[in-house]
Structure formats: structure tokens, C-alpha cells
Structure 1
Amino acid sequence: MARYTCSYRFKVDLEKLQPLMIETLQACHFEVIYQAVDYIMAREFLGQISFSKLVTVEVLIDSTTAIDDEVQVNLVVKNDELPLQLNNRCRQLFVLIQQAIADNPQWKLIENVTS
């Protein structure tokens, strides 16, 4: 299973973060399949790629530690594909999402830690 994670700290109003994150994921061709107050799950649209390569994104918003419009967000991008190559589909979409997050002018990216 391919799995890539990243943590972000944003300077943005907590109420605006979730709609902005959904908009960013949709711009990367993901559909939101579940959302709660502090969690978003999105996946690629069905039918575009084989099921094992279908990428899922989980966004965890840490609202309990949000202070002065600074919010911690953890991102997990994964699929069932074995990451036999460094540049696999899951990695490509992980990089695409990271770039979309970094380029979004509606928030200020304070910190980015990729693992």
C-alpha cells in the first residue's frame, strides 16, 4: 500500500479552512465522500483509474490546538498500489495536492512537514 503523509500549519480562520480544503481537493479532481467537523475524506472519481490505483485523501483538522487563526492539519494520501516505483500514481497525486495547497492564496502556509 502506498501512503504519504504531511503536516501543515495554516494561518487561516478555522471556519474557513474546511471549505477551502474541499475546494482545493476538488480542484485536484477529488470528490469528497465524507466530511465531519474536523475530518475530510476524498477520493479520485471512479472509472478514471483501476481500483487498486484509486487514491484516497484523508484530511485531519486539529481544531483543539487552533490558536490565533493558526490551525494544524494532517494529510494522508494513500492507495492499494504497491509503491514499487518512486514515481507511482499515489506519489504523483500527493505532490499535486501539496502544490495546490502551497499555491492557494486564501491561506498562509506557516509550516510544512512531509514524511
Structure 2
Amino acid sequence: MVHQPDLDRAFAALADGTRRDVLQRLGAGPLPVSELATAAGMTVTGMAKHIHVLEDAGLVATEKIGRTRQCRLGGERLDDVMAWISYYQRLWERRLDGLDAYFTLQKGTDR
């Protein structure tokens, strides 16, 4: 099962729209922090704070290349998030299937 503090950090990081946008941009490939900042209309320092939260959650990895810091997706935590969501999706689908079967049965006996 997924370690709860890791999952908490991942969901907290995903709660911010700017950070979700960063992940979307990084889906196309690695980018420097400065390019992410420009796209978001913020300073490099402001973007670096968002990157730090994403990195702490394991959603992004960074690497210093020359004078720039390059960011790329760190997909392991997204796998953890997807596993957690999938578990509850299956749970609710089973419950809703049971509810559907109940109402289908009730409809058939009302005749």
C-alpha cells in the first residue's frame, strides 16, 4: 500500500493550479525553471518554490546543467496517486453496480 505521508505530499502538491500546469508542461519533456517561470508569468524565485514542493513530493526531479536547473517528471509518486485513486474508483464502481442491480430487481418486481 502507499505510504500515507508520501501520498499527502503528492496531493498537497497537486492542489495548486500552477504546480499542475508545471506537470502538464513537463509531460512534453524536460524544461529549465526559467522557461517554466516565464510561461507562468512569475519570477524564477517564485517558480523555484513551486518546483521545490513538487520535488519534495517526488513528482518532479531537477538537475543542474551548466547555469540552469532542468526539471523533468518524476513519475513514481504519480503512480502512487493513481493506485490510490484506482482503488477507490473500483470500490465505488462495485457499490454503484450493486445499487443498479437492486433497482433493476425492484423495477422487475413492481409489475
Give your verdict on TM over 0.5: no
Tell me the TM-score normalised to structure 1 length: 0.26
Bigger radius of gyration among the two: 2
> Greater helix percent: which structure?
2
Tell me the TM-score normalised to structure 2 length: 0.27
